[in-house]
Amino acid sequence: MLTVNAFGAPSATEPLVPLTIERRPVGAEDVLIKIAYAGICHSDIHFARGEWGPISYPQVVGHEIVGEVVEAGANVTKFSVGDRVGVGCMVNSCRECANCLAGEEQYCLKGNIQTFGGIDPKDGNVTQGGYSTHVVVDQDFVLNVPESLDYAAVAPLLCAGITTYSPLRHWNAGPGKKVAVVGLGGLGHMAVKLAAAMGAEVTVLSQSLSKQEDGLRLGASHYYATSDPATFENLANEFDLIINTVSASIDINAYLSLLTLDGALVAVGAPAEPLGVQVFTLFGNRRTFAGSSIGGIRETQEMLDFCAEHGIVPETELIGADQINEAWERVLKSDVRYRFVIDTATLTGAGA
**CA 214, CA 192: separation in Å to the nearest integer?**
10
- Is residue 224's pLDDT more than 60? yes
What pLDDT shows up at residue 351? 37
Distance (Å) of CA 290 to CA 98, 167, 172, 280, 298: 21, 10, 14, 16, 22
What one-letter code names the amino acid at 177? K
**Per-residue pLDDT tens over the stretch 37-56:** 999 999 999 999 998 889 99
Mean pLDDT within 270-287: 90
β-bridge mates for residue 37, sequence order: 66, 343
- Is residue 350's pLDDT more than 60? no
What pLDDT shows up at residue 185? 95
Phi, psi for residue 333 in degrees, rounded to 5: -95, 5
What pLDDT shows up at residue 248? 86
Residue 230: partners with Cβ closer than 8 Å, 6 or more residues away: none
- Is residue 250's pLDDT more than 50? yes
Distance (Å) of CA 257 to CA 99, 283, 287: 32, 10, 9
The runs of H, that is alpha helices, within 61-159 are 98-101
What pLDDT shows up at residue 261? 98
The runs of H, that is alpha helices, within 311-349 are 324-332
Distance (Å) of CA 111 to CA 6, 91, 122, 194: 26, 11, 15, 28
Chain-centre distance of CA 81, in angstroms? 26
- Is residue 329's pLDDT more than 70? yes
Task: Specify the range with the lowest mean pLDDT, choosing from 27-31, 105-109, 270-274, 300-304.
Answer: 270-274
**Per-residue pLDDT tens over the stretch 172-201:** 999 999 999 999 999 999 999 999 999 999
**Per-residue pLDDT tens over the stretch 52-102:** 889 999 999 999 999 999 999 999 999 999 999 999 999 999 999 999 999
Tell which wins on pLDDT, 224 or 53.
224
What pLDDT shows up at residue 1? 85
DSSP 285: G
Mean pLDDT (the chain) is 96
Catalogue all structural domains in the chain, each as residue range(s) with its CATH number.
2-158+313-346 (3.90.180.10), 160-291 (3.40.50.720)
Cα four-point dihedral sign 12, 17, 19, 25: positive
**Residue 218: closest CA among 243, 244, 195:** 195
Give the pLDDT band (50/70/90) at residue 273.
confident
Task: Specify the range with the lowest mean pLDDT, choosing from 51-55, 117-121, 125-129, 324-328.
Answer: 51-55
What pLDDT shows up at residue 349? 54
Residue 275: partners with Cβ closer than 8 Å, 6 or more residues away: 249, 250, 252
Distance (Å) of CA 324 to CA 141, 155, 320, 341: 26, 16, 7, 9
**CA 214, CA 206: separation in Å to the nearest integer?**
12
- Is residue 243's pLDDT more than 80? yes
